[in-house]
Amino acid sequence: MSIGTERLPAGGRSLAGRFIERAAQWPWWLLVIALVGVLIAWNALTSELYSAIFSRLTLGIGVTIFTTLVAYSLALVIGLLAGLGRVSGNPVVFNIATLYVQVIRGVPILVQLLVIAFVIVPALIDGVNSLGALLAPLIGEPNLLTQTRPQDVPFLTRCIIALAIAYGGFQAETFRAGIQSISKGQMEAARSLGMSYVQAMRYIILPQAIRRVLPPLGNDFIAMLKDSSLVSVLGVRDITQEARLYAAASFRYMETYVSLAFFYLAMTILLSLGVRWLENRLNSHGRGQG
Amino acid sequence: MSTGAAPPIGDPSAIIIIKNLVKEFHGLRAVDDVSLTVARGKVTVIIGPSGSGKSTLLRCINHLEVPTSGDIWVDGIHLTHHAKDINAVRAEVGMVFQQFNLFPHLTVLQNVMLAQRVVRKRSEAEAREIAMQQLARVGIPEKANAYPSQLSGGQQQRVAIARALAMNPKIMLFDEPTSALDPEMIKEVLDVMLELASSGMTMVVVTHEMGFARNAADEVVFMDRGRIVEQGPPDVLFQQPREARTRAFLSQILR
């Protein structure tokens, strides 16, 4: 019905007018990206310089993907726990979770990375050392705890911890919003059947809340992939660091950084298509269940 | 507040005893010094204008609202002071809500089975059997594998009743169970409630359905502004109300 009424005025227009109308709706942006991609891929196959850049960047892609996957998984766990803390009725838990979220949201992610890598991890090692000294009478003087040095913790590990803590803060708020979007009656019905708070969360609230926050969580994954480039600041050899090293050695800044940008773009476009597919699937699936 | 957890000595048939219950919301008294005894196997209907505190009183019985002061005993367990026992008491007290509150991510069968499994620790097979019995009792066994959003309001409310009954509660609380329903679906829910009442279930019902109160109630309680104004058997309360406020309310609602 609605299609028929919409087409009526269009039928009166010229063929050219209709063509322009249709053309305006095409995803031209995707075409531009695809063209640039073809151009760069062509270069990678034909130009020696580009193929050298590409094989150099490929060295870092494992680190980029590993960092993203591990940090994101840890962030999900931290975020879920902190999100549950943010809706907790226990004032101690609530305040700890809120303090965490507020600190994370108020400090730039690059600064968090530096603080965790150079301040918090060494401080934790100090703590482990003093614990070792304290336990010396029990387990002997040069023990594993006193022997641990900050340099034993690789920068890759520190970066993953830092990214996980940073993203956990954002995901906590996503989980909190998801939990609070479920009507109060759901918790009441579960509790009225004798379920404990934890059981009600596990069986009733979280399954519904997590379904609602999957799209924003998917976007967070894309954001994490991009922010994983920050680890290059600490010398971790992800694709950004490989690009910086190559560019600095060859003075080929333009070719290297354009290729680097294209690497990220290709990965994020693939991922966002995946997120969109997931969203559609959930929508068509969830419709029957209101 | 009394300090003892022992129920007051009195009528042995009493299953719910409420003494001097007060519930305040931000200084506003929703329930104001209410005392009420519900006898085992009897149907008590609470009526009154909206905002009179009848739903709040009902929700205090299973501690969905925590009373500001006063005491409640449910089947001999002192609810007000023993927060740990609340989950145990809730399993014995079924509740049906105005908005049904079915779990939308679970099928009808799963809705009726879940609490049996995780609270009563019944086996899968036993929970399924009891769930199907209760769904048959409320007249919709054929919807067992449907999702709540595929059901009409009346069907959803009947599933909610089956879900509560599957826990084998000693008491059933109904909080305006037909107020969110389209008129043509009210009867199917009331019929289930009438059958339940005739089976000897202890019921406390907050409702505006005066027909149900007349037919099924053993005791009708009229509340206004957080207090019980008057209570008695339905034929007495409806035919010869003592209080002017009761008469005024009834004259507005019965015409």
pLDDT digits (tens, 9 = 90+) for B146-169: 999 999 999 999 999 999 999 999
pLDDT > 60? residue A4: no
Structure tokens at A90: 């226990």
Tell whether A207 is within 8 A of chain B (Cβ).
yes
* DSSP assignment letter at A204: I
CA B10 to chain centre: 23
> Percent of chain A beyond pLDDT 90?
52
Check residue B22 and give its pLDDT.
93
Q: How confident is the model at residue A138 (pLDDT cuts 50, 70, 90)?
A: confident
Q: How confident is the model at residue B204 (pLDDT cuts 50, 70, 90)?
A: very high
In this complex, do A194 and B99 lie within 8 Å of one another by their Cβ atoms?
no
pLDDT (average), residues A12-37: 83
Tell me what the mean pLDDT of segment B189-211 comes to.
93
Using an 8 Å CB-CB cutoff, list chain A residues near B117.
Answer: none
Q: What is the mean pLDDT of residues A63-67?
A: 93
Interface probe with A: pick from B90, B93, B173, most Cβ of A within 10 Å:
B90
The alpha-carbon gap from A106 to the nearest alpha carbon of chain B, in Å, equals: 34
Under the banding of pLDDT at 50, 70 and 90, the label for residue A161 is very high
Q: Which of A261, A273, A262, A274 is nearest to A34 (CA)?
A: A262
pLDDT tens, position by position, B129-151: 999 999 999 999 999 999 999 99
- Read off φ and ψ for residue A131, nearest 5 degrees: -60, -40
* Nearest-angstrom CA–CA distance, B71 and B77: 11
Number of Cβ within a 10 Å radius of residue A91? 8
Q: Rounded to 5 degrees, what are φ and ψ at B47? A: -120, 170
Chain A residue numbers touching B91 (CB-CB < 8 A): 193-194
- Amino acid (one-letter) located at A190: A
CB B127 within 8 A of CB B117: yes
**Looking up tokens 């950004």, which residue turns up?**
A240
The whole-model pTM stands at 0.83
Q: How far apart are CA B183 and CA B2, in angstroms?
A: 45
B104 and A CB contact within 8 Å: yes
Query: How close A226 comes to chain B (CA, Å)?
Result: 34
Q: Which domains does chain A have, with CATH numbers?
A: 66-241 (1.10.3720.10)
**Contact list, B87 vs chain A (CB under 8 Å):** 191, 194-196
**pLDDT grade for B88, boundaries at 50, 70 and 90:** confident
Q: What is the pLDDT of residue B2?
A: 42
Please check whether residue A288 touches B, CB under 8 A: yes
Considering only CB atoms, which chain A residues are within 8 Å of B164? 192-193
Distance CA A125, CA A240 (A): 29
For residue B255, what is the enclosing H or E element? none
**Closest-approach residue (CA) in chain B for A190:** B115
Question: Exposed/middle/buried for A72, CB within 10 Å: 0-12, 13-18, 19+?
Answer: buried
Confidence at B3, pLDDT banded by 50, 70, 90: very low
- Of A235-239, B2-6, B119-123, the least confident: B2-6
Number of residues written out for chain A = 290
Q: What is the CA radius of gyration of chain B?
A: 18
Nearest CA of chain B to the CA of A84: how many Å?
20
Instruction: Please check whether residue B111 is in contact with residue B102, taking contact to mean a CB–CB distance below 8 angstroms.
Output: yes
Task: Answer for the pair B169, B92: CB distance below 8 angstroms, yes or no.
Answer: yes
